[in-house]
C-alpha cells in the first residue's frame, strides 16, 4: 500500500509530506483547492508523462516521492529483480522534473527509465476516475479478473502446463523436421565430411598428448645430437686428426725417451715419470668418458620416424579443425553431430512419426484442460453477473445490465490461459445492446460501475492501492451513501483513497485529508491537513451546508459520522 507521499514544488504545492494508512482515506476540499494536483503528483511518481507546467513558478525543478509497502509475494518483486533492482520490503518511487521539461526517474534511489517506472507503478496503484483509462475497461484484464473471482487455480495451472507441453512437443517436431531438411540439402557434403573425420578418427585430448609427445621426442633428439657431437670430438673419424687419445699416447712415448738429468741419478731413471703418470691417468679418463658417452648414445630414446608420425598426426588434426572452424578437442563431437545428422536421414521418418504422435497427444491434453477451464469460467461468469447485478441498483444503475461473456477464441488466440475470450459488457438502458464498458457508459456511470465491480472483484485484485477520483460525481442522498458503503467494503481488502465532494462518502473514511488553497506573502499555495475528529465534523458540515456552517449542519454531520441518515432537507 501507499505509505507516504512527498511533494516539492509542484504547481501550487511548495512542500508537502503526507502519510497514509490502510483502509479508506478520503480527500475533500472546495473546487479548485488542488485535489487534482495531489493526484497528478502521485501520477508523476507512478510514471505519468512529465510536463513543464508541473514545476512551481520560480522553482528550478519539481519532485515527487511515493513510498509503498507491498504485501508479501506481490508481483512487483520479480519485476524489480528482473531489472537488477533489489526487492526491498519498502519500494520508493521518485520522479524529478526540471523547468525545461526534462525528467528523471528513480526506484529505491536507482535511476531507471520512465517505462519501467510506469510498469512498477501500475502494479502498485490503480486509479479509477471519470477521465482515466481504467484497467477494468481494458478487455485484456477481464480473463484474469474472472479467474481470480471464481475459477480454481488448479484448472488454470493445468491448462498452462498442458499448453507448455504442447508447445515443447511442437518445438521438438519443428526442430526435427528442420534438421532432416537441412541434412537432405547437405547430404553429399555430410557424407564426405563424416568419411573424412571418421578416417582421421580424432580422439578426446589427443592434441594435448601429441603435443607433449612431440616435445619429448624433440628434446631427446637434441640431447642425442649433443652427445654424438661430444663423442665425435673424442674419436674423430678423420685420419688426419688423430684425436686426444692418440695425442696422449704420442706424448707419453716422447717422454719415455728422456735420459737421466744428472750423473748421480740411477741408470734407467726417467725424470718425466710424474708427467707420464698424469698422461696415463688422462688417457684412462678419456677412455672412461668415451665409454660413458657411448652408453648414453645407446640409451637415448631417439626415433626420427616416430617424431615424424607424431608431427604429421598433429598437423592433420589442426588442419581439419581449421577446415571446419572448430578447435581440435571439438573434432570428436563434430564427428558425432554430423554422423547423427546423416543418420537422421535414415531414421528420420520414424522419429518424425513419433514426434507427430507426441504433438497430437499433448494437443489433446491441452484441449481437455482448456475445455475444463472454459466450463469453470462460464459458471464463474454467471456468478459474477449476478453479484455485480446486485450492486448496481443502490448505485443508481438499476436499469443497467452487466454481462461477463465467455466465448471461444480462434486457435491463433489460444495460449497458457486457455482458449477463451472474456469480455465485460454493459447495457445502461433497456433495449440497448451490450457493449464495451468504456464505450457504452457515461463518465459517472462508468465510475459507479467500476466501483460495483471492485466491490465484487477486490478480493482477487493484485493492486494493493486503489484511487477513486470523484466516483460520486453527480449523485447524492441514498446513492452517495451507497457509494460510501461500497468504498468501505472495498477498503476491507485493499487500501482506498477517494477524492470526493459527497459528505456521505467523506463520513465513511477511516482517515480524512482536507485540501485547501491559501494566499501567503502574495503567493497562492495548496495545503493538506489531516483532520482531527472536531475538524472533520466541521468539514463534513461545510460540505452539507455550504459556506455558512449552521448547528443543524453540524448535527447532520454527527449523524453521518455515526452512520445514521440525517434529517431531510440537509441533503440533496
Q: What order do you get walking across the sheet with 110-112 strand by strand?
A: 13-19, 2-10, 61-68, 91-98, 103-107, 110-112
Q: Is residue 119 exposed (0-12), middle (13-18) or buried (19+ Cβ within 10 Å)? A: middle
Residue 476 grid coordinates = 447524492
Alpha-carbon distance 559 to 466, whole Å?
A: 27
Residue among 466, 452, 549, 544 nearest 505 (CA): 544
Q: Are the CB atoms for 489 and 500 separated by under 8 Å?
A: no
**Domain presence at residue 84:** no
Q: How far apart are CA 527 and CA 465, in angstroms?
A: 23
- Does residue 104 belong to any structural domain of this protein? no
Read off φ and ψ for residue 426, nearest 5 degrees.
-145, 140
Between helix 304-324 and helix 206-234 the angle, nearest 10°, is 150
Would you state the pLDDT for residue 328?
85
Residue 212 belongs to domain spanning: 156-256+272-375
Q: Per the structure, how many domains does the chain have?
A: 1
Residue 267, pLDDT score: 58
**495-499: strand order across its sheet:** 125-129, 465-469, 495-499, 24-28, 511-520, 523-530
Distance CA 176, CA 311 (A): 41
Place of cell 482531527: 532
Q: What is the pLDDT of residue 568?
A: 45
CB-based contact 1:69 (threshold 8 Å): yes
261 Cα distance to chain centroid: 108
Q: Is residue 428 part of a domain?
A: no
What is the grid cell recorded at 177? Answer: 523436421
- Look at residue 222 and tell me if it is in a domain: yes
Query: Digits of tens for pLDDT over the chain (572 positions)?
Result: 999 999 999 988 989 999 999 999 999 988 878 888 888 899 999 988 888 788 988 888 999 999 999 988 888 888 988 888 887 788 999 999 998 888 999 999 999 998 999 999 988 998 876 545 456 677 888 898 899 888 999 999 999 999 999 999 999 999 888 887 877 777 778 788 888 888 888 888 877 788 887 777 777 777 877 777 777 777 766 655 566 777 777 777 777 777 555 555 555 566 677 877 887 788 778 777 877 777 777 666 666 777 777 778 888 888 888 888 888 888 888 888 888 877 777 777 778 888 999 999 999 999 999 999 999 999 999 999 999 999 888 888 888 889 999 999 999 999 999 999 999 988 888 878 888 876 766 666 777 887 888 888 876 667 889 888 877 777 777 888 888 888 898 888 889 999 988 899 999 999 999 998 887 777 888 889 999 999 999 999 998 887 788 888 889 888 888 875 555 444 43
Nine-digit cell string for 536: 472533520
User: From CA 406, how far away is CA 399, in angstroms rounded?
Assistant: 23
In a domain, 367, yes or no: yes
Strands 511-520 and 24-28: what pairing? parallel
319, part of any domain: yes
Q: Is 83 helix (H, G, I), strand (E, B) or coil?
A: coil
Between CA 366 and CA 170 the distance in angstroms is 13
Nearest to 402 by CA among 366, 350, 451: 451
CA distance 556 to 544: 8
Kindly state the DSSP code that residue 415 receives in the 8-state scheme: B
Residue 62 in any domain: the answer is no
In a domain, 188, yes or no: yes
β partners of residue 111: 106
Amino acid at each position: 500500500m501507499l505509505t507516504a507521499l512527498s511533494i516539492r514544488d509542484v504547481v501550487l504545492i511548495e512542500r508537502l509530506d503526507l502519510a497514509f494508512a490502510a483502509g479508506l482515506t478520503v480527500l475533500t476540499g472546495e473546487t479548485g483547492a488542488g485535489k487534482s494536483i495531489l493526484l497528478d503528483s502521485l501520477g508523476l511518481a507512478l510514471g505519468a508523462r512529465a510536463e513543464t507546467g508541473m514545476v512551481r513558478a520560480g522553482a528550478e525543478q519539481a519532485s515527487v516521492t511515493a513510498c509503498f509497502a507491498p504485501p508479501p509475494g506481490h508481483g512487483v518483486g520479480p519485476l524489480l529483480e528482473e531489472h537488477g533492482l533489489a526487492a526491498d520490503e519498502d519500494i520508493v518511487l521518485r520522479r524529478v522534473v526540471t523547468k525545461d521539461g526534462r525528467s528523471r526517474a528513480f526506484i529505491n534511489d536507482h535511476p531507471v527509465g520512465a517505462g519501467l517506472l510506469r510498469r512498477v507503478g501500475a502494479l502498485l496503484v490503480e486509479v479509477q476516475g471519470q477521465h482515466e483509462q481504467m484497467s477494468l475497461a481494458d478487455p485484456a484484464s477481464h480473463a484474469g479478473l474472472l479467474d481470480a473471482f471464481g475459477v480454481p487455480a488448479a484448472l488454470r495451472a493445468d491448462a498452462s502446463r498442458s499448453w507448455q507441453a504442447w508447445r515443447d512437443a511442437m518445438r521438438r517436431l519443428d526442430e526435427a523436421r528442420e534438421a532432416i531438411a537441412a541434412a537432405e540439402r547437405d547430404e553429399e557434403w555430410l557424407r564426405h565430411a563424416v568419411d573424412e573425420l571418421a578416417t582421421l578418427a580424432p580422439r578426446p585430448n589427443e592434441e594435448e598428448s601429441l603435443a607433449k609427445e612431440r616435445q619429448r621426442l624433440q628434446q631427446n633428439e637434441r640431447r642425442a645430437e649433443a652427445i654424438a657431437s661430444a663423442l665425435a670430438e673424442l674419436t674423430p673419424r678423420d685420419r688426419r686428426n688423430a684425436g686426444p687419445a692418440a695425442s696422449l699416447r704420442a706424448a707419453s712415448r716422447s717422454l719415455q725417451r728422456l735420459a737421466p738429468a744428472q750423473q748421480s741419478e740411477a741408470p734407467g731413471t726417467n725424470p718425466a715419470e710424474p708427467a707420464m703418470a698424469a698422461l696415463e691417468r688422462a688417457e684412462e679418463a678419456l677412455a672412461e668418458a668415451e665409454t660413458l658417452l657411448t652408453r648414453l648414445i645407446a640409451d637415448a630414446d631417439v626415433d626420427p620416424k616416430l617424431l615424424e608420425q607424431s608431427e604429421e598426426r598433429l598437423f592433420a588434426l589442426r588442419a581439419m579443425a581449421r577446415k571446419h572452424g572448430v578447435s581440435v578437442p571439438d573434432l570428436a563431437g563434430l564427428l558425432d553431430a554430423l554422423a547423427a545428422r546423416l543418420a537422421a536421414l535414415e531414421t528420420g521418418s520414424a522419429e518424425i512419426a513419433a514426434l507427430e504422435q507426441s504433438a497430437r497427444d499433448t494437443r489433446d491434453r491441452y484441449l481437455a484442460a482448456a475445455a475444463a477451464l472454459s466450463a469453470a469460467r462460464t459458471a464463474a461468469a454467471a456468478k459474477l453477473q449476478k453479484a455485480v447485478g446486485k450492486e448496481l441498483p443502490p448505485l443508481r444503475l438499476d436499469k443497467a445490465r452487466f454481462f461477463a461473456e465467455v466465448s471461444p477464441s480462434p486457435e491463433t488466440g489460444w495460449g497458457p490461459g486457455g482458449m477463451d475470450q472474456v469480455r465485460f459488457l454493459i447495457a445502461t438502458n433497456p433495449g440497448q445492446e451490450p457493449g464495451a464498458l468504456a464505450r457504452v457508459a457515461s463518465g459517472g456511470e462508468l465510475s459507479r460501475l467500476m466501483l460495483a465491480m471492485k466491490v465484487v472483484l477486490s478480493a482477487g485484485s493484485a493492486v494493493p492501492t486503489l484511487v477513486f477520483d470523484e466516483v460520486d460525481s453527480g449523485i447524492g442522498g441514498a446513492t452517495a451513501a451507497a457509494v460510501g458503503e461500497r468504498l468501505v467494503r472495498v477498503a476491507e481488502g485493499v487500501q482506498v483513497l477517494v477524492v470526493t465532494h459527497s459528505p456521505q462518502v467523506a463520513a465513511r473514511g477511516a482517515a480524512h485529508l482536507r485540501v485547501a488553497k491559501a494566499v501567503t506573502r502574495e503567493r497562492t499555495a495548496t495545503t493538506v491537513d489531516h483532520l482531527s475528529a472536531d475538524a472533520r465534523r466541521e468539514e463534513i458540515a461545510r460540505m452539507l451546508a455550504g459556506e455558512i456552517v449552521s448547528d443543524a449542519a453540524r448535527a447532520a454531520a454527527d449523524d453521518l459520522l455515526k452512520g445514521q441518515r440525517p434529517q431531510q432537507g440537509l441533503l440533496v
